[in-house]
Chains A and B, each alone.
Chain A
Amino acid sequence: MHELSICQALIDQVEALAREQRARRVVSLVVGIGPLSGVEARLLKQAYPVAAAGTLAEGSELDIEDRPIRVHCKSCGEDSDATANRLVCAFCGDWRTDLVSGDELVLTRVEFVREQAYV
């Protein structure tokens, strides 16, 4: 699996943000994951401390926010919940749908402590 390389990309982004904000240390971060992103939240959590070691994010907490699968029906126009292998409209049953959410893999929130002078 590629969770470790995704964690490294995550740490890169978090460190860049931390530097931008003159942060001394990262406390926690939130990553939103949809089931169709192809990333396993449990494995990401396991890989995270390894990737964070020796960075500004060392010892920080990774929170995962599960995103729902939602589809928009091109036939009847309704939005509904769906499952990963059945992206069909819950109202009319048509399979011609657009995914509204559920394939995200996004860093949504970072909590950090600033340099002394800024606290």
Chain B
Amino acid sequence: MCDTCGCNITHANQHLIAPGGKLHKTGQGSEALSVLKNLLSENDQLAAHNREHFDRHGVFAVNLMSSPGAGKTSLLEASVDALSDRYRIAVIEGDLETENDAQRIRSRGVEAVQITTGSACHLDAHMVHDALHQLKLEDLDILFIENVGNLVCPASFDLGQHRNVTLLSVPEGDDKPSKYPVMFRAADLVALTKVDLLPFLDDFSTGRACDNVRALANASPVLELSVKQSDSMVPWLDWLDQEVEHHRQRCQRGETLQPKIQPDGARLHTPAT
């Protein structure tokens, strides 16, 4: 698809180009040009480039998103401990400041690159691309990207990952998916974390949390996890095993996978030429 001939016009946005045609004069001698350009196209192009890097080396890339303190780093620590005997893993850590999270991961014997964003509230494809230069992708099976703790902006930026995982820790409340629909619509898996605290919370219903995810037309799995209860980690680790295997098969067929949110976007938005 291109940006100029109109082949990117879908039934949803046809009305935009109907009146006046593509280029016409206005009263004051100025001219109007009708265009349809995805404003994030520059980021999306670099994200696609990152994804090509991952696919060439058979690396499965997961983007972890949540509010600050929902347990992303703890989940990664537990996952690294459980998986590092069978997979080669690296982590990219995004935070506004400090190397703390990268140090926590490195102490588990896994390579970690810290991106400190300064004031930026999300990672973008450029930052991840720069971080990739510090990693040997040919030596990796799984790359975890821990996004900046934020339930708003990270949802809008494709990084080149294959899957989005969104964490919701139970003290945050079961209505978080309704409050942050853009984020929870983007999730390929929702992890309800810190479920060991459920006995102390009389107002969190895992059923309601799941219903609120479904109300966003999201059919992704909703898992209940606690890093303090190793049994609860099994469905999460099984999901990763399955995803890594599927990704290997895709790479062998020369195919790739964009995170869940992308198909809609690809249909409605076209990459800039």
Contacts and interface: CB of A to CB of B under 8 A. Distances in A.
A2 B121 contact: yes
A37 interface: yes
Contacts of B269: 104-106
B42 interface: yes
B217 A32 contact: no
B215 A88 contact: yes
Interface string B251-273: 00000000000001100110010
Contacts of A109: 16, 32-35
Nearest to B216: A87
Given A36-B185, A110-B32, A113-B30, A98 B264 contact: yes
A39 B157 CA distance: 11
Interface of B: 11-13, 16, 26, 28-43, 120-122, 124, 152-153, 155-157, 177-179, 181-182, 185, 212, 214-217, 219, 264-265, 268-269, 272
Closest 10 CB pairs of A and B: A38-B156, A101-B12, A87-B217, A85-B178, A85-B181, A38-B182, A107-B37, A111-B32, A97-B217, A84-B181
Interface of A: 1-2, 5-6, 9-10, 12-13, 17, 21, 23, 27, 31-32, 36-39, 70-71, 84-88, 95-101, 103-114, 119
23 contacts: A13-B39, A17-B35, A27-B30, A31-B39, A32-B16, A38-B182, A39-B156, A84-B182, A85-B177, A88-B215, A103-B264, A103-B265, A103-B268, A105-B39, A105-B269, A108-B13, A109-B34, A110-B33, A111-B26, A111-B30, A111-B33, A112-B30, A112-B33
